Amino acid sequence: MTGILEYTFMQNAFLAAILVSVACGVVGTYVVVKRIVFISGGISHAAFGGIGLGYFLGVNPILSAIPFSLASALIMGLTSKKVKISEDTAIGILWSLGMAIGIIFINLTQGYVPDLMSYLFGSILTVPFSDLLIMLVLDIIIIITVILFQNEFQGISFDEEFSQVMGMPTTAIYLLLLSLVALSVVVMIKVVGIILVIALLTIPAAIAKQYTYHMGRMMVLAVILGMILTTGGLYLSYLFNLASGATIVLVLGLGFLISVIIQRLIKD
């Protein structure tokens, strides 16, 4: 295990796995508790529009994905709250529009578009140091925001109607939460890709929820589980020369299955 850490790209990969586990553990807890997995998937796929825009403008696609993901999250949140159509319909429309916009921008880009598949299915082994800095900054923003608004987030996660009656600006808090989901998606894109982001955002938190209902402990446990399972999947992908993103998700899924079996055995 220590031998592979001699390579710079593996050092970057393990750091990326740790940084992404922080985002998926903290924000993923709210996603699972509030049951907004589908809208999180919509945000992740809409982020592809930002990736395509980055290629078209010749800038780092991760940077261009940030404002695009935030805008998509806000539009989805407002549409689901204000427009008289069902939430899943609004999410499905914006989901497909984001992907379509990304494809159009990529078609308009001159020359060959490198590394496109890494944004769709992840390529943690190619994460540069500059992307690690972006991940670190986004993690810090996420943590600070959660600390400042932890009571509000907890309120809308468990009982949004009661929070609204108590005078809380629930729509604004909900949009802020979706913004954190958008930032988390950007953190995870290079690790598992847009297609597999939902797994990393939900599975560690879903496992943690089986052992505690306390939000703080759930977040800490989800972060720890994310670090263990993500780095474990990364190591296996290196060992057996497998696709890193897919291997990480398979390990996450196996971890969830084992947790379910353990819970069954405990109850029986």
Helical spans, DSSP H, in the chain: 8-34, 37-46, 48-57, 61-82, 87-108, 116-121, 129-148, 150-158, 160-165, 170-209, 215-239, 244-267
Contact criterion met (CB below 8 Å) for 158 and 214? no
Tokens of 116: 């496109």
- For 51-93, the pLDDT digits (tens) are 999 999 988 888 999 998 999 899 888 887 777 677 778 788 8
- What is the percent of the chain where pLDDT is above 90? 51
- What is the CATH classification number for the domain harbouring 98? 1.10.3470.10
Domain total for the chain?
1
**pLDDT score at 116:** 77
For the whole model, what pTM was predicted?
A: 0.90
Crossing angle for the helix pair 37-46 and 61-82, to the nearest 10 degrees: 140
Angle made by CA atoms 117, 255, 129, in degrees to the nearest 5: 40
Residue 43, domain extent: 3-267
Contact criterion met (CB below 8 Å) for 17 and 234? yes
- For 99-124, the pLDDT digits (tens) are 999 999 999 988 777 677 888 888 88
